[in-house]
Structure 1
Amino acid sequence: MENNDQNTNTGNPNYPDQSGITNPNYLKPNRDGANESLWQSFHSELSSQNPDLSLGRVYDALIIGAGITGLTTALLLQKQGLNCIVAEAHNVGFGTTGGTTAHINTFADTTYDETEKAFDAASAKLFATAINEAVAIINEHVQVYRIDCDFEWKPGYVYAEDSKQAKELDSLYQSALKVGVKVKETQEVPTPVSYEKAVVFDNQAQFHPLKYITGLQKEFVALGGTVLENTRVEDVETREEIHYAITNVKDIAAKNVIYATHLPIGGINPQHFLNAPYRSYVIAVKLRDEKYPDALIYDLQEPYHYFRTHVIDGQKYLIVGGHDHKSGHNDPEKSFRDLENYVREHYHVESVDYKWSAQYYVSADGLPYIGELPLAAKGIYAATGFNGNGMILGTISAKVISDMILGKESEFADLFDPARVKPLAGFNEIVKENADVAYKFIADRLSIDDIKSLNEIENGSGAVVEYKDKKVAIYKDNAGSVHALNPVCTHAKCIVDWNNSEKSWDCPCHGARFDIDGNVLTGPARKNLEKITVD
C-alpha cells in the first residue's frame, strides 16, 4: 500500500461496494459501519443456533445483544445452572465490541478524583474495586477457558505535555493512589512525543476482542446456552411476571431480560436522556522503523490520543484512537484526517491499513448505569454509560446483573443503580445540544427536479437536503442513483445526520444508526427509516 493510501476495502458487504451496489445475498454484516476494523480478519467457526422456540418454553434469562456485556452475563448465569438465551440482531461482535481498541485498564475515563467530587471518597474507592474485579474476571476467563485472544499484560503510561496537563496528571495520580490503584511517577515513556511529566500504571492489559467474546460464546454454548444471530428484538411485553420478547423470528419467553445494547430498545425510557452518544475514531498503521511501543500510552490533549501495538497474522500494527465527539455533531472524515495527521507528525508511518469508528455512551454523572431498568417491569435489566471503557465496565456489568438475578448481594449495586439521581453540572447542556428540532414529515414520493441541492451531493455520499420546506435524507450511490428517506429518527423523532465515513445515518439525540436504505444498524430505534419513492 502506498504511503498516503487509506484502506478502501469496507469489509462489510451490507454497504455499497465500488460499483455502488449492495450485495443482496449477504445476510450477516460484520460490524455496524462500512469501515473494516482490524479485528475482522478473525473468522469464527461458531455459528448461530436454531433452537425450538415453541410455545411454553420459558428461559431463565434472555440477554439482548452479543457483545462483551451480553456474552459475559450469559456465561456467568449459565455457569450457575440457569437456562439462558442470547438474541443478537446481527452477528456476535457486530456493535461496539467489534470496534473497540480493547484496552483493559485499572483506571477509567471518569477519573477517581471526578468520582469523589460527584459522589464521595468511598464511592471512588468502590469504583476502583469494581474496575479491578473486572480486570480479574477477564484474566480468569482467559486462563480457565484457555481463550486464545492475544491477551497480554502491559504497563500503561499517561503523560502531560505542558503545565496545565501536568496539573491534570497530578490529580489523576494522587486520586489513583488514594483509592489503592498501583501507579508511580516515571521519567521514561515509550513515545516520540515530548512531555513534561508522566506516570505509569502496572498490570494493564490488551487483547483481541472478537477472539475473546467468541471464546465466551463457545463456553456458554458448551454449558447448554443458546445464541441466536440475525434475531432482532422489536419489543418486550410482560404478562404475569414473564417477559415476552417479540422478534423478527419467533417470540421468546423469559423470567429475566437483560438489555446489553447500550440503551434499552423500543419506547422512551429515562436512560435515553441520561446518556449521550459519542463516536470514537481509530486507525491501525504500519511503521517504517519498527518502533512500535510495547505498552498502552495515553496523552492528555483535547482531543486526546491513545496508542498500543497489536500483532495480526505476524504483522505489527500501531493502533491509535481518539478525536471523539458527540454522535451526529461533527464531520467523521475530518476526525480521521486529524487523527492520521497527528500520527504522521510523530511516527514514521508506512501505511494506514485500517480505519474505523465505534459508538459509546457517556452517563450524566460519569459512572455506568447497571441494574434493574427504571419504569420497567421487575426482572428487566440494563447496562450502559460505559464512556470509553466498555471492556472493563461491560464485564463488571455482567457480574452485577448476574448477582442480582441469582439473588446475591452486589457491593456495587447501589453505586451503579440506574435509578440514582446525581447529574453532573453541565450535562443538561449535552442534552440540549442533542435536542434537534423534530417534525412530522408527510410524503410518499418526491421529484428530483425539486431538490435544488441534489447536485451538490457527490456520488457515494449523502446529506439531509431541503424539499419544499421539508427535509429529506438523500444518498447517491456510486452510479448516481438516488436513495431517499424520511430523516426523522423512528425512536424519538430527531433528525438524522449523514456519516460519510461509515456510510450511515446517525441520530444525534440517542445514537440510533441506520444504513443507506434506512435499515436499523444499532441504537434504541427498532423501526427502519421510511423510504420515499423518487421520480
Structure 2
Amino acid sequence: MTRKQQVSGSYWLQTEPGGTPRPTLTEDLTVDVAVIGGGMAGLSTAWELTRAGLGVAVLEADRIAAGVTGHTTAKVTALHTLIYDKLRRTRGDEGARLYARSQSEALERAAEIVAELGVDCDWEERDAYTYVRDTGRVDQLRAEARAAKEAGLPASFVTETGLPFPVAGAVRVSGQAQFHPRKYLLALAEDLQARGGRIHEYTRVTALTEGEPCRLTTDAGVRVTARDVVVATHYPVFDRALLFTRLSPRRELVVAGTIGADRDPGGMYITPEENTRSVRTAPYDDGHRLLVVTGEHFTPGTADTEARFEQLSDWASTHFPGVYLTHRWATQDNDPTDTVPMVGPLHAGARHAYVATGFGGWGVSGGIMAGRLLSAQIRGERCAWSELYDPRRLATAVREAPAFLMTQAKVARHFVGDRLRPAKSLEDVAPGEGAVVRAGGDRVAVYRDEDGEVHALSARCTHLGCLVDFNAAERSWDCPCHGSRFGIDGEILQGPALRPLKRRE
C-alpha cells in the first residue's frame, strides 16, 4: 500500500466501529444529571455518577467515543511533555504534587476499571518518555526530571531509550500505560447502561437554562430537566465565563502503519522538538506492531494539511525504515493559557452547571481525572485538587496574561486580516478543491466536487463570525479562531459552533 493509498480515518474507530447507534432522544426527559458530550470526560463522569446511584443521561451530538477521544494516541500517563518544572514555578510545589497525584490516580482508576469490567482494550504497561535531541535543551530536561520526581512521580533523567536514533536526554516515568481508547469507552458505556444510565446519540444540545432544576433543549426541540449539568464537549459549547478566551485550538496529524514486533521501541515517546513528534505502538498481529506517530501541530484553518501529512509520513519512514503506513487521521486539542485544564463549576455564579475542558493534548488521563473530580463535586464530596483545576481561578490571571493576550491577538488577526485577503473567483475553484470566494460583496465558502457540482456556504463561522478556510486533506471548513469545523455541506463536525454554516446560492 503506497502512501497515497493510506486509509483516511482513525484506526481506533475502524477496528471497533461500535455497532448499532444508541437512540436519538425524541421525548422530554428528567434525570439527576445530564452530561453533554460522550467522550472520555463525559463518559467517565457519567459512569462515576451512575455507579454512585444517580440517574444520568449522556447526550452526544454524534456517536460516543468517536470525536476527539476516537482520534487520540491513547497514552494513559502523568508525564505531559514538559509541565512539572513550570507548575513548580507557577503553582508552587503543592500545585505540582496535586497535578501529579490527580493524573496518577486517573491512571490507577483506569487500570481498576479494566480489571473490574474485564475490558479487552489492549491495555499495556509502558514507560513514558519526554526526549530531546538538541544538547542545548538537556538542562531543561534535567530540571523537568527533578520537578517530576519531587512531585511524586517515578521519574528519572536518562540518555538511553528504545528509539532507533540517539537522544541528548529524556525524562522517563515508569509504570504508565496505553490502550485502545474506543474499546475502553464502549465497555464503560455498556456498564453505564446496564446500571440504568441512558445514552442518546445524534442528540445535539443547543440551549442551557441554569436554575433549580436546569433545563436543556436539543436541536429537535426536546427538553431535558436535570438537577445538575456537565458540559463535556471538549470546547465548551455553553460558555458563560468566556472560557474560549483562555483556550487555543490545536490540530495535530497522525500516521500509523505496521513494523516488525522486534523493532518496537518499547515505550511511549514525545518531544517538543520538530513541531512535536509522539511515538507509540499498539498490538497488531503475532509478528507486527502498529506504529502510531503524531505531530505537525497547527492552528485549524491555517495550514496545508496535505503537505504536513507528507512531512509526518516522511519522518516516520526515515526513522522507522520499512514501516508500512496504512492509516492517517487528525486530532484536535485545546491548550489553556495557564497550562492546567479547567474542570469544575462553569462560571462564578454556577451552582449546578459544570465544565471539563482545556486538556492540552492529555485528555485520556485528564478526562478520567475530570470524571472523578466532577462526580465528587456533584455529590458534595471534597476533592483535594478541586482548587487546582477550578475554571474560576483568579490567582493565575496575572501569570497567564501574556499568553491570554497572545491568544486574543491571534484571534483578532484572523477576524480582521482574513477579510482583507484576496479572494479567488468561482471559476478558479477546480473539481475536488475548495476556497473562499467573493460573491455579491460577501465571502462564500465554495467546494466543487469531482462531478463539478458547487457546494456553496456562508464563510462566516456560526460561533463568533470568523472566516473559515478549506482543509483539503480532510475536506472540511475549519475556523482558525476557536476551532469549529464543518463539512462541505455545512454540517457541524466539531464545536464550539452550535449551528451549521448557512447554505448559499
Return the offset for 1:44: 2.5
Quick one: which of 142, 148, 153 aligns to 2:114?
Answer: 142
Structure 2 partner of 1:216: 188
Moved more, 324-333 or 491-500: 324-333
Q: Using a 3 Å threshold, how does the CA distance of structure 1 residues 330 and 465 change in structure 2: closer, same or farther?
A: same
Check if 1:86 corresponds to 2:58: yes
Quick one: which of 14, 37, 48 aligns to 2:22?
Answer: 48
Return the offset for 1:355: 0.6
Unpaired runs of 5+ in structure 2? none
Q: Using a 3 Å threshold, how does the CA distance of structure 1 residues 5 and 490 change in structure 2: closer, same or farther?
A: closer
Q: Aligned partners of 1:347 and 1:138: how far apart in 2?
A: 31
Return the offset for 1:110: 5.2
Q: Using a 3 Å threshold, how does the CA distance of structure 1 residues 313 and 505 change in structure 2: closer, same or farther?
A: farther
Structure 1 partner of 2:4: 5
User: Percent identity, aligned pairs only?
Assistant: 31
Task: Tell whether the 8 Å contact from 2:424 to 2:435 is kept in structure 1 after alignment.
Answer: no
Task: Tell whether the 8 Å contact from 1:267 to 1:491 is kept in structure 2 after alignment.
Answer: no
Return the offset for 1:69: 0.6
Q: Aligned partners of 1:262 and 1:388: how far apart in 2?
A: 11
- State the SS of the aligned residue for 2:385: coil
Check if 1:330 corresponds to 2:290: no
Structure 2 partner of 1:386: 359
Structure 2 partner of 1:363: 336
Q: TM-score, normalised by structure 2?
A: 0.93
Q: Aligned partners of 2:221 and 2:189: how far apart in 1?
A: 21
Structure 1 partner of 2:382: 409
Q: Aligned partners of 2:470 and 2:25: how far apart in 1?
A: 38
Task: Tell whether the 8 Å contact from 1:236 to 1:246 is kept in structure 2 after alignment.
Answer: no
Q: TM-score, normalised by structure 1?
A: 0.88
Q: Using a 3 Å threshold, how does the CA distance of structure 1 residues 452 and 135 change in structure 2: closer, same or farther?
A: closer
Q: Using a 3 Å threshold, how does the CA distance of structure 1 residues 101 and 477 change in structure 2: closer, same or farther?
A: same
Structure 2 partner of 1:277: 249
Quick one: which of 479, 492, 498 aligns to 2:464?
Answer: 492
- Name the aligned partner's letter for residue 5 of structure 1: K
Q: Using a 3 Å threshold, how does the CA distance of structure 1 residues 239 and 389 change in structure 2: closer, same or farther?
A: closer
Q: Using a 3 Å threshold, how does the CA distance of structure 1 residues 255 and 502 change in structure 2: closer, same or farther?
A: same
Q: What per-residue deviation string (whole Å, max 9, x for no partner) do you get for residues 420-471 of structure 1?
A: 13242333112211232269x9xxxxxxxxx853343332221212334432
- State the SS of the aligned residue for 1:517: coil
Structure 2 partner of 1:24: none
Check if 1:428 corresponds to 2:405: yes
Quick one: which of 415, 432, 442 aligns to 1:437?
Answer: 415
Q: Using a 3 Å threshold, how does the CA distance of structure 1 residues 245 and 188 change in structure 2: closer, same or farther?
A: same
Check if 1:66 corresponds to 2:3: no
Q: What per-residue deviation string (whole Å, max 9, x for no partner) do you get for residues 8-29 of structure 1?
A: x44xxxxxxxxxxxxxxxxxxx
Return the offset for 1:376: 6.1
Structure 1 partner of 2:47: 75
Quick one: which of 117, 134, 139 aligns to 2:89?
Answer: 117
- State the SS of the aligned residue for 2:85: helix
Task: Tell whether the 8 Å contact from 2:211 to 2:352 is kept in structure 1 after alignment.
Answer: no
Q: Using a 3 Å threshold, how does the CA distance of structure 1 residues 313 and 155 change in structure 2: closer, same or farther?
A: same
Q: What per-residue deviation string (whole Å, max 9, x for no partner) do you get for residues 88-132 of structure 1?
A: 011011210010000111211451111122222211111111111
Q: Aligned partners of 1:106 and 1:282: how far apart in 2?
A: 21
Structure 2 partner of 1:21: none
Check if 1:397 corresponds to 2:374: no
Name the structure where helix makes up a greater proportion of residues. Answer: 2
Return the offset for 1:488: 0.7
- State the SS of the aligned residue for 1:434: helix
Structure 1 partner of 2:224: 252
Q: What per-residue deviation string (whole Å, max 9, x for no partner) do you get for residues 494-514 of structure 1?
A: 111211122111111111111
- State the SS of the aligned residue for 2:504: strand
Task: Tell whether the 8 Å contact from 1:160 to 1:195 is kept in structure 2 after alignment.
Answer: yes
- Name the aligned partner's letter for residue 327 of structure 1: P
Q: Aligned partners of 1:214 and 1:390: how far apart in 2?
A: 17
Q: Aligned partners of 2:411 and 2:322: how far apart in 1?
A: 37
- Name the aligned partner's letter for residue 370 of structure 2: S
- State the SS of the aligned residue for 1:349: coil
- Name the aligned partner's letter for residue 112 of structure 1: Y
Return the offset for 1:341: 1.4
Across the aligned residues of Structure 1 and Structure 2, the Cα RMSD in angstroms comes to 2.2
Moved more, 417-426 or 406-415: 417-426
- Name the aligned partner's letter for residue 4 of structure 2: D
Check if 1:179 corresponds to 2:156: no
Task: Tell whether the 8 Å contact from 2:278 to 2:294 is kept in structure 1 after alignment.
Answer: yes
Q: Aligned partners of 2:220 and 2:102: how far apart in 1?
A: 36
Check if 1:106 corresponds to 2:78: yes
Q: Aligned partners of 1:179 and 1:493: how far apart in 2?
A: 43
